[in-house]
A and B are shown apart, each in its own frame.
Chain A
Amino acid sequence: MSRPHESAELHVSGAALYTDDLALPAHTLHGAYGLSEVAHGRLCGLELEAARQARDVVDVLTAADVPGVNNYGGIVADDPIFADGEVHYAGQPLFLVVAHEREAARRAARLASARIEPLPAILDIRAAIAAESFVLPSKRLVRGDPDAELARAPQRLSGSVGMGGQDHFYLEGQVAVALPQEDGGMHLWSSTQHPSEVQHLVAAALGVASHAVSVSCRRMGGGFGGKESQPAMIACAAAVAARRSGRPVKIRLDRDIDMLATGKRHDFLADYDVGFDGDGRIRALSVMLASRCGYSADLSGPVSDRAVCHLDNAYFIPHVAIVSHRCRTNTVSNTAFRGFGGPQGMMVIEHILDDIARHLGCDPLAVRRVNLYGIGERNVTPYGQIVEDNILPDLLEQLASEADYAGRRRAVAEWNEREPVIKRGLALTPVKFGISFTKTSYNQAGALLQIYRDGTMLLNHGGTEMGQGLHTKVLDIVARELGVPNAWVRITATDTSKVPNTSATAASSGSDLNGKAAQDAARTLRERLAAFVRERDGVEIGPEDFDGGRVQIGANSIPFAELVEAAYRARISLSATGFYRTPKIHWDMDRLMGRPFYYFAYGAAIVEAAVDTLTGESRLLALDILHDVGHSLNPAIDIGQIEGGFMQGVGWLTSEQLYFDSDGALRTHAPSTYKIPTARDWPERAEVRLFGRPNPEETIYRSKAVGEPPLMLAIAALHAIRDAVAATPGGAGRPRLMAPAVPEAVLRAMGAVCELSEERSPLGDTMGTTSPDATEQTAFRLI
């Protein structure tokens, strides 16, 4: 039995409080942004008078009003809180209207206007590469002699792989409240995965020291990476407004502004050249991998690094060269999103293997199998980490046999032979995902545990709760270490004044890091209590003596609370901090070499899909997942992460289309036009199981991280659709199926949509494309 989410009853009764639900102090003001409608230009002036004069308006802020640094970029200081001098994307905040009511602020914001002198805009990846427009220097990872081996390989293919970006579409939009404190202090309620970063950036924006700012977050209504670096933008703006007015200021973005102004998953483009043998085994691979970063660096460096480090996915590539370009475009600055570049890297290799299989005319699974990392051999990644714990061959074979891949492959072929209109497709793709922040210093966590005299305790740790069940898991760990019922442990808002200098809750690391830190704190207190017993009673007690809310002392069993009270009277400290840092990892960021990951999490999925040759509509018919979470901390929560991650990946690859018009303005910025999956899209026949082998590394109770890896299981969905497309006459060979595989893209891949005019629809281009050979790349030039 898995414990339900610690807030489940609050969720279902509407009693769980999100940032927007917190009762506001009297006189709280509300802020609303004015955004640029121009993708690139010189900001010559703002006409704010009409907004200032509007009913209920108190203040209008611009870049000039930021007392400290006008920046919310966490790594590189290139993200202005308000545009200053130059406008970098359509959707960039120019000013903030502050009013007594939110509606008044929103309406007044529309009364203001900006004078922007347009400058040439670079909107897509190809144009950025051509102009060498990069936010960060390109990186190169080479192993062996790819050029020579490519020339020598028995067979060779080249092509391009493209994929679109993705909006996080957390159901709760970005929101922050800044509450001025005495003596220059500022407290913030922020819906953030990274309270410490919000704290430090707000302090810099206000020009005060970090200790003057505190940030708390009880829960988010979804994060998915979208609340890692982005919340600082509105938190800084709210804090500046609060400082100026001396009153609390709340900013809650409406959905359109949220989608226009904040970053998304990077769209990627790759050109590849691969050499292989008659079995499809890769001899050498050369890839140009480019990400659309938008106008600033944000997290694009580490996102692109992770893409490079996941381009191998589960496969050994003996000779390899990867060039990674981080393209600067006049679009919103793309950011962290579940998988953090990993999914995009994997998409490339999975596409290449699929191409090889279709070129050779064999089952793609056969080609995937011969390329898997070996055990004890063929086991070094391009970046030099040895794959020590490779359970994937076992996992993959277990899935293929339990889900009867071979039988279903035959059934699909028979169906396609028989059926003219609806075609079916089948695909199995694996996932190997590296766990740890690639920036080694982020791999640390702290916790604070305080026991009160009645035996109940309050736990705080550096992780944030965004729905992933982190608090449920960490709470369980502490209760288990101290042998008390879960109800005795309470977790309150993550707060920078409880645990300092925390890392973002990201990179799937939440329970690995914070679980261990909390365990450390719990063990410290348990050992302190044991030492007290030793001194008082002369009895040695161990972990197993703390159980069921009682403590076994020799022949006596006493209530835990009684021991706590006795310890209190004996003047024993009943609060402790805990700390953890991940062992074994090291990483050379520039050379892209080392052991960036403590371990890998694995999984595999089989998806069966149907496509309509008349309309291009597709549907996922069946799903089988076998996924590795080590020894699960909470099977129900882990399965929830796997299913939810898979579905989010399915949305990315099938229905979620970010449509930028030719001026660089995003036209799909609300759920009416941006379509994430609904309940009907969950495959009617689905089997999701845990692999269940403990983590060989010494993680918390031998579990494994689960947040991100399952998203990439969705690559099987795209390949199942591609497989079905390949069963049509027009799609035979290597179908040009781009992601997202919306109906139009699928119909095009079947060769069934011919152009009406010379002008290309912008759709194919911004969304990423796939073309079988390099000559066709120019035909698909972006925008």
Chain B
Amino acid sequence: MGSRDDCIRFLLDGEVVEVSGLPATTTVLDWLRDHAGRTGTKEGCAEGDCGACTVLLGEYQGGNAPLRYRTFNSCIRFLPTIDGCELVTVESLVDDGVLHPAQRALVAEHGSQCGFCTPGFVMSLAGLYLEQPAPDREQVVRAIAGNLCRCTGYRPIIDAGLAMGGLEPAKTWHPERVDTPARRAALAKLVRRRTLELPDLVAPRSLDELASWRQAEPDAQLLAGGTDLGLEVTKALRNLPKLIYTGQVPELHVLETAAAGLRIGAAVPLADAWAAIVDAFPGFEEVADRFASPPVCHSGTLGGNVANGSPIGDCMPVLLALDARVELRRGASVRELSLADFYLDYRRTAMAADEFLVAITIPGAQGCWHYAGYKLGKRWDQDISAVCAGFAIQVDAKVIVAARLGFGGMAGIPARAPAAEAALIGATVEGASFEVAADALASDFEPIDDLRASASYRLISAGNLLRRFGLALTSEEQRKPLSVWEVTP
């Protein structure tokens, strides 16, 4: 059976589903509900912020690599992007009439009231179960960080997550049972030999192919994880130009870690990118953790976040602090640019229309560096920052010899703070130095008032984040709690 070019194919409940003739911007959720009549998956917001639409995506990663199942928000994900994968919905988890442990635990713990959020929680918990059938509290809370429930107060849902490991194990959707030869074979059969090409979307399968499409169609829109672009369709109701989907380009999925630094392919999901960053540069855990919900981090890409150029994207302050560079390609030629030079103005970057982002590189660190990343919002999980900060300073014999301070939410673009950096360089590592730097921020930024915070709050709290960094560095012997989350209840 040869694959066809213009037909999306994926696995659902053991059957191959073929879809053609729909707009490329049809979301997975709309396909499920309106076309497949599977109404278990719900729409609560159509913007990736409530989790009611959460489903699982199974990916065959080639060779002997294990099948990987991860959650994503079906409301903002376009159907062609699940081509070649397995789609798992709340209905799929019921095995011969037997509920999945995540489902049974939710019943037993009284975890559903109105039940509208429940399918989404089931999927998030089932996704966690496939990684870790007996998770701890932190793992449960993290796994459901992108799921809103207005009824329960979450306690019984957290308890269900903690209880599911103790129940009779799942017959199919269990980490040791799901990866069967039959399932691998079914997914392997979906691997494309020819490029998926719909009237309004093309999914190149190599970097060269992507480069030539990009040049041939400079008006086309690049689509990566779609966690931002999806909203243009579901909320702004925009008609998108032709889409060039980057998710099928293997070269863009490469994540290289070496002493010389990190090289993160533009299509690497945020979840993997952040894991690598935090691993190489300890100090950014908070931003990594708060960046977005797991389903968003599974779909969204670091490249998308960077290329999108949002002034409040939370990657950029950290990447600025790490002196990241972007690798851009046009046709056969490749150029590199410092991330600091990449952003020109509000949502405008130095990338030309026929250029695209290949990778983000972060140089390795020489000497003694300290890092910190902080984010301020109205809520710990899944909020757009009022202020986001990434700090890196190099210290030699108690003197700060280099400083890079990246901020988001303080200007029309993510930006460094030159005056505050200058204040730190040459100063000793002590509270007073950070006081001076915090005060210098007023000459670096003129933030604005908006629904997230007032200008004055932004400026004062940004300075206080520098103070917090100073306190963290100077009080290391008898570390005091510097965040409400460091307090033991």
Contacts and interface: CB of A to CB of B under 8 A. Distances in A.
Interface stretch (A113-121, A204-212, A540-548, A676-684): A676-684
B418 interface: no
Interface stretch (B155-163, B249-257, B302-310, B342-350): B155-163
A219 B115 contact: yes
A680 B380 contact: yes
Interface in A709-732: none
Interface of A: 2, 4-5, 7-18, 20-21, 23, 103, 106-107, 110, 168-173, 219-224, 254-256, 419-422, 424, 466-469, 608, 610-612, 614-619, 621-622, 636-637, 639-640, 643-648, 655, 657, 659, 661, 667-668, 670-673, 675-686, 688, 742-744, 747-748, 752-757, 761-763
A306 B337 CA distance: 63
B266 interface: no
A262 to B, nearest CB: 15
Interface in B45-91: 45-47, 49-50, 52, 89-91
Given A647-B153, A678-B379, A742-B378, A2 B110 contact: yes
Contacts of B110: 2, 4-5, 8, 636-637, 639-640
Nearest to B93: A13
Return the 7 tightest CB-CB contacts between A and B, nearest first: A14-B40, A467-B114, A221-B116, A11-B115, A647-B153, A761-B454, A467-B113
Contact of A648 (B50, B150, B376, B454): B150
Contact of B483 (A106, A617, A661): A617
A753 B456 CA distance: 7
A9 B383 CA distance: 32
Contact of B150 (A7, A15, A224): A224
Label chain A's interface by main secondary structure.
loop
Given A12-B115, A14-B119, A747-B457, 15 more contacts: A14-B89, A20-B33, A169-B150, A170-B114, A171-B116, A255-B47, A422-B483, A671-B45, A672-B45, A675-B379, A679-B145, A679-B154, A681-B154, A753-B456, A755-B456
Given A13-B99, A14-B40, A254 B113 contact: no
Interface in B108-133: 108, 110-119, 122
A680 B459 CA distance: 27
Contacts of B174: none
B151 to A, nearest CB: 5
A676 B153 CA distance: 10
Given A13-B90, A169-B150, A752-B460, A469 B113 contact: yes
6 contacts: A9-B103, A13-B91, A222-B114, A621-B487, A744-B386, A761-B456
A325 to B, nearest CB: 28
A171 B154 CA distance: 14
Contacts of A680: 141, 145, 380-381
B94 interface: yes
Given A13-B40, A681-B379, A676 B148 contact: yes
Nearest to A9: B107
B147 interface: yes
Interface stretch (B181-189, B211-219, B422-430, B465-473): B465-473
A111 to B, nearest CB: 10
Given A643-B152, A678-B148, A12 B45 contact: no
Nearest to B381: A678
Given A640-B110, A680-B145, A667 B451 contact: yes
B310 to A, nearest CB: 12
B241 interface: no
B399 interface: no
B153 A646 contact: yes
Contacts of B117: 171, 221
Contacts of A668: 451
Given A171-B117, A680-B145, A17 B480 contact: no
B167 interface: no
Contacts of B237: 103, 106-107, 110
B221 interface: no
B46 A254 contact: yes
B459 A756 contact: yes
Contacts of B89: 14
A744 B42 contact: no
Given A11-B115, A614-B461, A742-B378, A421 B150 contact: no
Interface string B190-213: 000000000000000000000000
B116 A12 contact: no
A50 B385 CA distance: 39
A646 B52 CA distance: 22
Interface residues of B, number: 93
Contacts of B152: 640, 643-644, 647
B453 interface: yes
Contacts of A648: 150, 153
A684 B154 CA distance: 11
Given A13-B103, A756-B456, A657 B378 contact: yes
B147 A614 contact: no
Contacts of A612: 483-484
A688 B155 CA distance: 10
A439 to B, nearest CB: 26
Given A222-B151, A615-B464, A640-B110, A422 B484 contact: yes
Interface string B366-392: 000000000011111111101000000
B461 A7 contact: no
Nearest to B108: A4
B451 A7 contact: no
B83 to A, nearest CB: 22
B6 to A, nearest CB: 22
B452 to A, nearest CB: 8
Contact of A743 (B111, B378, B480): B378
Contacts of A636: 110
A682 B44 contact: no
Contacts of A661: 451
A468 B113 contact: yes
B154 A14 contact: no
A681 B151 contact: no
B334 interface: no
A645 B144 CA distance: 20
A704 to B, nearest CB: 19
Interface in B382-419: 382-384, 386
B275 interface: no
Given A637-B110, A671-B49, A172 B154 contact: no
B39 A743 contact: no
B152 to A, nearest CB: 5
Which of A611, A619, A667 counts the most B-chain CB atoms under 10 A from its CB? A619
Contacts of A619: 380, 484-485, 487
B16 interface: no
B477 interface: no
A610 B489 CA distance: 9
Nearest to B237: A107
A17 B376 CA distance: 39
Given A679-B141, A763-B454, A616 B489 contact: no
A718 to B, nearest CB: 15
B449 interface: yes
Contact of A172 (B44, B99, B157, B235): B44
Which of A422, A637, A648, A655 counts the most B-chain CB atoms under 10 A from its CB? A422
Contacts of B467: 614
Contacts of A171: 42, 44, 50, 52, 114, 116-117, 148-150
Contacts of A11: 106, 112, 115, 118-119
B489 A621 contact: yes
Contacts of A688: 155
B17 interface: no
Which of B52, B99, B153 counts the most A-chain CB atoms under 10 A from its CB? B153
A673 B155 contact: no
Contact of A618 (B49, B91, B484, B489): B484
A754 B215 CA distance: 52
